[in-house]
Amino acid sequence: TCSLLRSPKGFPKLKNDTFLRAARGEETEYTPVWCMRQAGRYLPEFRETRASQDFFATCQSPKLCCELTLQPLRRFPLDAAIIFSDILVVPQALGMEVVMVSGKGPVFTEPLKEVEDLLKLRQKVDVTAELGYVFQAITLTRHTLEGKVPLIGFSGAPWTLMSYMIEGGGSTTMAKAKSWLYRHPEASHRLLRLLADVIIDYLVGQVAAGAQALQVFESHAGHLGPELFQDFALPYIRDIAQAVKSKLKEEALPLVPMIIFAKDAHYALRDLAHAGYEVVGLDWTIRPQEARAQTGKDVTLQGNLDPCALYAPKEKIGELVKKMLDSFGTQRYIANLGHGLYPDMNPEHVGAFVEAVHAHSRHINKH
């Protein structure tokens, strides 16, 4: 169970490194699989653990994060765990207040409205002081996992976080945040730089705490076209990979594989493949062969089954997985959904997805 805070040393030996090998482009006997939002409301045990507590209070409890991270692994033979947390802990570390409103999602009590509001943000963030609870959750979970599978840490990317901080929550158009890019390009870059610097320290801290891979979520990439992406997203995405790697080297920490997931950014796949990440995550709106052609042979791809495919009958899920594996190939590939699991999904269908990936990839590899 998830108890006792332990030190980020003397971790149990890793028993299943298939996910890490695939991420690094090494040969695997089968295709590894995990799911975005695998620790989520579709699991009755997750709803039960979460019931009594405020969302962000849960994020701040290493013990609860550990329990929630491990729940899907008790049910399914997944090849990786991803720490239970939220991308909005970074704006919180900058001093912004975010509350989770049931049925609505995250809401910022005072979003950024004017350029002057940037002065209200902490300009220097001590990530251990502000986000140490995430590091503790990672260390505790890594011990409690007992080497079963690797543990992934993550962060939102600067543009995605900026868009939340200005919109004050979710938005279908991101018009307020995008208006900053057009009206206040310099202030936008100041904010993105501030976010990138915190994210870099935060990701390095996660590795120091025991994370064995890192994923950067540019979830709102689809709201930008190629030009805005080129100016306001890509430079920071590149910089994060480069800076994290050089800091890991400096601090003699393991050089863990990094994944970039820029949702709906197929216009930028070529650039993302050269942005310094070992793995490029794909949403469900691109054909596997096309993604391979654009990204080349030097990166691993991750994705990209339409999450809604899990509403299909189990046999149909198996067929869709087989087709996906035939298209991507079983090597240099990590199976996943094209985005997170939805709360009303049937856990048995998630199990069918995981088993189909293992069975079909083994079969393809044999023949």
Q: What is the DSSP string of 308-361?
A: GGGGS-HHHHHHHHHHHHHHH-SSSEEEEESSPPPTT--HHHHHHHHHHHHHHH
Bridge-based pairing of strands 258-262 and 81-82 is: unpaired
Q: Letter for the amino acid at 142?
A: R
Contacts of 152 (CB under 8 A, 6+ apart): 34, 80, 81, 82, 83, 211, 212, 213, 214, 215, 259
Helix (H/G/I), strand (E/B), else coil: 108: strand
Residues marked as catalytic:
37, 41, 50, 86, 164
Cα separation, 194 vs 98, in Å, equals: 18
Extract long-range pairs of 108-116: CB within 8 Å, 24+ residues apart: 108/164, 108/165, 108/168, 108/169, 111/165, 111/166, 111/167, 111/168, 111/169, 111/176, 112/165, 112/166, 112/191, 113/166, 115/184, 115/187
Q: What secondary structure letter does DSSP report for 115?
A: G
Element at 291 (helix H, strand E) = helix 288-295
Q: What tokens were used for 99?
A: 């509350």
Count, residues in the chain:
367
